[in-house]
Structure 1
Amino acid sequence: MKTLLVPYYEHPAEQPNAWDALVAAAPRLYGVVLNPASGPGEAPDAAFAAAALRLREAGVRVLGYADTDYARRPHAEVVRDLLRHRDWYGADGAFLDQVSADPGALPHYRRLAVAARAAGSASLVLNHGVHPDPGYAALADLLVTFEGPWDAYRTLDVPAWTEGHPPEHFCHLVYGAPPGARASAAVHCVVPGTGAHPWGTLPYPLEPAR
């Protein structure tokens, strides 16, 4: 079952064993978030392009990362990032980060969802990091409804509206977790990393040999 959505933000040339582990884990992966430079960067990166190709050839979704800054980033800038991910790295999906949970921002994200599909995103993930207004559920294939440390995750309260959707519509991204920690969401990623850069570590089952 494809249950792991992995935001792994390390360079393939610096951590080749970790990228090998991702490719080897292809049957278990919902997808991998590609994030060369808090987005696609200003020019193509050959190492990321090669890593993305390997993942796609293994049957893994490649999700291009784009920051939306809680609806403050202009629509055109976000779409530019998605087009660069598609053209430079062959991304077949989109991972929109720092997505507002407010119902007032729904029109903005509705436009972005349409643009992402038009740009070739077969899969769209919205990372709210919290449970958003229920209206967002219709915009994307997957909602990230928790992103945070393990200590906060242990007391997560899940709103009743989520019961009206399939479990695989929701994802939890948990960091600072002890060995053996598990997430309750159908799609998830639980990593040991902490601090400002927790997504420089892989989930425990995928940790490569040192």
Structure 2
Amino acid sequence: MTIELHTWNTPNGRKISVALEEMGLPYKVVPVNIGKGEQMAPSFLAISPNNKIPAIVDPDGPGGKRVSVFESGAILLYLGEKTGKFLPVPLAERIPVYEWLMWQMGGFGPMPGQVHHFIALENEQDRAYGLKRYMTETVRLYGVLDRRLANHDFVAGPLSVADFAILGWAWRHPRHKVDLADFPSVKRWYDALMARPGVKRGMEAKLD
């Protein structure tokens, strides 16, 4: 059965289209135009009560019943559980996946997202303050990721949902004003992922 992906062309949306393609799951995109406020529609709030994209509806959920899932990290874990792909079974091997997924959700997403916000401001004083604060933290997070990847092909051992989560935001590095040449291990990881056919399809999927 086909999963509905309710989303828009954002880093968090790309995480899920990439994961669905890599996992070989059939899906259809249901665009939610956040610029027009469609995320506030009652029909969307019924599956995503925090009025944020993405969300999915799986007609073949646990027990064969329809299920909806919101929050991109929760969706990735659900899809990993559903398919048995990109989410190790042994708990010891899952720990780094959980760690790096939470690292992305708690930092490498909210901080670059603030950069996006302040870059768009017209008030130069407000813009300068915000960019100094959040770009400093964003660059620090790229450094954390670079150090991790210096000795790992992927962030949590084998390729996992944590990589897909982080890739969704690393994809926007030009908008973060970050040159990946300054983070060679991140660049190697990024280029390797972007060369994967499933990732390419996920990144090219029309989400808006």
- Superposed pair shares fold, TM > 0.5: no
Q: Higher Cα Rg: structure 1 or 2?
A: 2
Higher helix fraction (1 or 2): 2
TM-score (normalizing by structure 2): 0.29
Q: Which has the higher contact order (CA 8 A, sep 6+)?
A: 2
TM-score (normalizing by structure 1): 0.28
